[in-house]
Structure 1
Amino acid sequence: MSFKFEKLNIWQKSMDLAEEIHELSKEFPKEEIYNLTSQIRRAVDSIALNIAEGSIGQTNPEQVRFIGYSLRSLAEVVTCLYKAKRRKYIEDSEFKKHYSECFNLMNMIIGFKNAIK
């Protein structure tokens, strides 16, 4: 027995990304705990949460709407990664790795969104 969203590759990938970003953000300065650290963690968790919430919906437009929310959260994560790089909290190699993962996940989510429209 499982929920429908647990079978979705985009949900699984977003769960993996959330754990990676959570670990990455542990290295941010303590002064960022209520700002950038909190923001990137909430945004990355929101990706999987919205995918899951949308899968329970009764209508396709409702699911498409929640998938859109997950894309917006992903854009937030990318912006937070840029901020972390600019503030020199992460190395360029870390930025590129996570940026690439976000980009790939974005394409997967868009593909899923187009398939359910």
Structure 2
Amino acid sequence: MGADIKSFRDLIVWQKAMDLVDVAYRLTSGFPSEERYGLASQLRRAAVSVPSNVAEGYGRHSTADYVRFLQIALGSLNECITQLEISVRLEFVGKDEIKEALELCAEIEKMLVSLVKKLRVKRDG
């Protein structure tokens, strides 16, 4: 990582993923109470998984492990997108309400894919 990166907290992708957690919790707070342990819980767990896996991968001593955890973060991000879309289909939120979350997901996805590519070049090169 660059000289200015001292911790996973310095990674912009981690910071954006933390923003996604905030948005997910804010969105799900308005879900019906019977969804507290259903879709709301799933969406929150998937969102929390994204920065958690970025952080865990950063702490690994192997580039291959780091890449694996970033790929897990990508999987969790795709779960979030799916669960956001389900939330609209079930009319828990409107399409306009998930716009910010989907934009964050797209931004985080680009960053994760780019980071994986850079790490693979570093590892293989």
Pairwise TM-score range, normalised by the shorter structure: over 0.9
| CA apart distance, 1:3 | 5.7
What's the counterpart of residue 86 of structure 1? 89
TM-score by length of 2: 0.89
- For residues 40-59 of structure 1, what are the structure 2 equivalents within 5 Å? 40-59=43-62
* Counterpart residue number, 1:21: 24
Shift in Å at residue 104 of structure 1? 1.3
CA distance in 1, matches of 2:25, 2:116: 26
Q: Distance in 1 between matches of 2:79 and 2:90?
A: 16
Unaligned stretches of 5+ in structure 1? none
RMSD of aligned Cα (Å): 1.3
Which stretch shifts more, 107-116 or 95-104? 95-104
TM-score w.r.t. structure 1 length? 0.94
Unaligned runs of 5+ in 2: 121-125
Rg larger in structure:
2
The CA distance in 2 between the partners of 1:91 and 1:61, in whole Å, is 40
Letter of the 1:113 counterpart: V
- Structure 1: 4+ residue segments shifted above 3 A: none
Structure 2: how far apart are the matches of 1:24 and 1:8?
25
Percent of residue pairs bearing the same amino acid type: 34
